[in-house]
Amino acid sequence: MCGIAGLATAGETPPRERVAAMCDVIRHRGPDGEGIHVGPGVGIGMRRLAIIDLVTGDQPVSNTAGTIHAVFNGEIYNYRELRRDLQARGHVFRSQGDSEVIPHLVEEYGLDALERLNGMFAIAVWDARQRSLLLARDRAGIKPLYYSLRGSTLYFGSEVKCILAAGGSAREIDPAGVDQLLTFEYTATPTTLLRDVHKLPAGGWLRWHEGRVEQGTYWRPRRAQPWHDEPEHETAERVRRTLTTAVERQLVSDVPLGAFLSGGIDSSILVAAMAEVSPRPPQTFSVGFSDSSYDELAHARLVAKHCGTEHHEEVLTPDYLAMVPEVMGQLDQPIADFSVFPTLLVSRMARRNVTVALSGDGGDELFGGYDAYVADQWSQRTIDRLPAAGRALAQAVAERIPFGTGKRGLGNQVRRFVEGACLPAEWQHMRWMVFATQAQREALYTPEFRASLPGDSGDVIRACLDNGTADRLGNQSWCDFRFYMRENILPKVDLMSMAVSLEARVPYLDNDVVDLAMSLPAHLRIRGGVRKYILKKAFAGRLPQATLKRGKEGFSVPIKNWLNAQWNGLMHDLLDPARLRRAGFFQPAAVTRLVAEHEARTHNHSHLLWAIMVFELWRDRHLQGSG
């Protein structure tokens, strides 16, 4: 695990100092060492967080002839099998870890090497003979990789700040990125907030050769096949066995390892699987909050006791306002998801005891866990059938229900349900993931900024929902996997865990688990309103019944309340009309109206207001240098 960075140029050998500067800004990702290779036309480097092969696992690594050099961020879980295959083909290895497999695999199989990898990774491979640089990301997009092409020079890095450190961006804002940030709280691949910096797609590759770039995809999910019925208990057993094997595969480590435990279904199942295959009691980590509606410690404690873990927990009362500069320093590509704060805190807590933590991300997308799946089914039976006037009436009624101050509540849930149901039907499930409607954004933007937008953010949703099948839930699940998980959940966990030099692993995104889950029909994911039906059945008897019956809670903090209290001053500073007028993106009067409605508690605009605040903080930190 580490961070990688570098550049390829059609000119001379890049200065070693430039590559070192790119690596230095991601020192937090790898505090245990640095490695750099420079040569004619290339400079690649990495910062290392030592996990496997502590003695001989340094990078960059090369093939035997020294003609192919590689750096990578992540873990290859099937490296032992790949290594045995390569040795049988005559390859000789100098180390015992997973990184050295990569240059040998590329030498032997070329681009086909990528399909053979089971793991989480961002890879850069330089072929000195062909003067070409290959970049690639894992299938699910667990590990990030950004790139920029300026003239004939290609820059890349695990974080955008690597590219900025090398002068690889003109630092011009991409209007499409801003529009997506306000709509979804994140940007959609390949877009970032910078015109000339792009995300490499998950499951994709890019090859640079003498200033020219070509791109492709090495993995796409298999289209849904007709389900061949088998006894339900056999399917459940296959799910249990496949996930447990994935957990066992990801326990490989030469440093202390544990797991995040929220007490929800996904993390609880991972811990149950760990307890089954681990040679010692797993270490588990949970955080709680003073606001009882946001606290899940009792649920986590129940699972920890049932599974016999070495449990660690803390009730957090941090100064969240003081955390804002630290969080924004990591979010060089903004994510306006509130849960970045508790994610950083639980990562910091875990890092005091372990270097690796397993995370339950991916379970909701693959096995049907989100409230929105059930909400969509209800919407089809109710609001979707109403004429436009009926929908408008439903929305007017919903807006009269008072908001609660807790995490959930009738007013919060009904308003969100009706708002989502009244958005365009062709967006299907993504209606529930929109935080600024087209009408809201049109009112917010200045005429000049609105004219600069290349299109509607809804276009990326429509593309995601096309999975070539009539299975509505399957399309929605694939959309969440491809969009929400890849663009929000995984980058958030990566950035916040790596901020404290903690490796987060995600067994639900193991190749075998993903392939199996995506083959399941809708009736095995959700049945009778029960989400994750087959996953719960697979682990029935291995967890308390109270855990298996729990609903989805989510991992968040009460920013909606903070904006009216301890964060109110920050909100007014960042959304000051004079400041907004100078920047030229947003209509000051429209933003002021949102602030007033939120402070009056007639509306909950916390998501939209925080997204604008995040954008302003990002501009200060990463474009204007104020920190």
How far apart are the C-alpha atoms of 44 and 135, rounded to whole Å? 11
- The helix (run of H) or strand (run of E) holding residue 345 is helix 340-351
- Our answer to whether residue 2 is catalytic in this structure is yes
Contacts of 283 (CB under 8 A, 6+ apart): 256, 257, 258, 259, 309, 310, 311, 312, 353, 354
Nearest to 53 by CA among 11, 94, 25: 94
Beta strands 283-289 and 310-316 are parallel
Cβ atoms of 32 and 72 closer than 8 Å: no
Q: What tokens does 456 get?
A: 């509607």
Burial group, residue 11, by CB count within 10 angstroms (0-12, 13-18, 19+): exposed
What is the distance between the alpha carbons of residues 450 and 455, in angstroms, rounded to a whole number? 10
Q: Which residue among the candidates 2, 162, 422, 464 is catalytic per the annotation?
A: 2
CB 306 within 8 A of CB 276: no
**Composition of the chain by helix, strand, coil, percent to 5:** 45, 15, 35
Q: Which amino acid is at 156?
A: F
Radius of gyration (C-alpha) of the chain in whole angstroms: 24
3-state secondary structure at position 464: helix
- Distance of alpha carbon 604 from alpha carbon 148, whole angstroms: 38
Classify 199 as helix, strand or coil: strand
List residues with catalytic annotation. Answer: 2
